[in-house]
Amino acid sequence: MNLTAVAAIYRFEMARTFRTILQSVISPVISTSLYFVVFGAAIGSRIQQVDGVSYGAFIVPGLIMLSLLQQSLTNAAFGIYFPKFVGTIYELLSAPISAFEIILGYVGAAATKSIMLGVIILATASLFVDLRIEHPVWMIAFLVLTAVTFALFGFIIGIWADGFEKLQLVPLLIITPLTFLGGSFYSIKMLPPFWQDVSLVNPVVYLISGFRWAFYGASDVSIGVSLGMTAVFLLAALTAIWWIFKTGWRLKS
């Protein structure tokens, strides 16, 4: 494995984050804090507890997941799209580096940035509410798996996009609504039976439910199902990327 090339891509992507730290880190943290304050104050005064957990603490895993999904997708998408935009993708493809090493560099950096952001948001939330993490190993596992999976999806979007507008299309019109409707701010058990069944079609429900279980031991679906669905998303993303590099679809156009 060409570790030098992987490290070069990784360092470049991480350096870009620190050059734009206001946009990459501070802005998402402030936005998430506002969500927490607004929803915690407006709804928390009416809902004391959900599954035996105070409402303010209950929404923390959902807020972290909301930011994690958005940032993983956006960072990876922009990371691979920019070389296409400026034309340096040809140098990358002609260099002595494999597809796996390219993915490792870009996706690894995107996942690292989103995990860092998730940890910062977790630390920020602990200033507002008393948090407990009953299963810290599983919490870390879900955090890493989700970050890597959606960074892979972001990598696919960056290859698919042929303009900056399309880079924002999926996060704004698909990921954000699915996250809001996936139980970020409520338990789907609070919904009528019909809408509970409809919610189970939303893949984000399984990610948020599993992540929340790692905190409080309570979830809308079983932990096994959450892990299984996460593995399915990961496999689907890996399969799509394998096909892209095998066929060269949109890599050189």
Mean pLDDT check: name the lowest of 47-51, 94-98, 111-115. Answer: 47-51
Instruction: Calculate the alpha carbon distances from 46 to 41, 43, 50, 194, 220 in Å.
Output: 9, 5, 11, 24, 21
**High-pLDDT (> 90) share of the chain, %:** 48
Q: What is the pLDDT of residue 40?
A: 67
Residue 176: count other Cβ atoms within 10 Å of its Cβ: 14
Q: Please report, for the chain, the start and end positions of each structural domain, with discontinuous segments joined by +.
A: 3-247
Of 132, 113, 162, the residue nearest 57 (C-alpha): 132
Query: Pick the residue with more confidence: 172 or 210?
Result: 210
Residue 243 pLDDT > 90: yes
Q: What is the pLDDT of residue 144?
A: 95
Instruction: Calculate the alpha carbon distances from 138 to 144, 212, 214, 217, 233 in Å.
Output: 10, 10, 6, 11, 18
Residue 157 pLDDT > 90: yes
Sign of the Cα pseudo-torsion (171, 59, 182, 122, in order): positive
Beta strands in the chain (DSSP E): 49-50, 53-54
Q: What is the pLDDT of residue 226?
A: 93
Mean pLDDT check: name the lowest of 74-83, 123-132, 207-216. Answer: 123-132
In the chain, DSSP finds a helix count (H) and a strand count (E) of 13, 2
DSSP per-residue codes, 35-82: HHHHHHHHTTTT--EETTEEHHHHTHHHHHHHHHHHHHHHHHHHHHHH
Spatial contact of 129 and 31, defined as CB atoms under 8 Å apart: no
Q: What is the pLDDT of residue 155?
A: 95
Q: What is the pLDDT of residue 38?
A: 76
Q: What is the pLDDT of residue 45?
A: 64
Mean pLDDT check: name the lowest of 43-57, 60-74, 173-187, 200-214. Answer: 43-57
Residue 2 pLDDT > 90: no
Q: What is the pLDDT of residue 101?
A: 94
Average pLDDT over residues 115-139: 89
Q: What is the mean pLDDT of the chain?
A: 88
Residue 155: count other Cβ atoms within 10 Å of its Cβ: 27
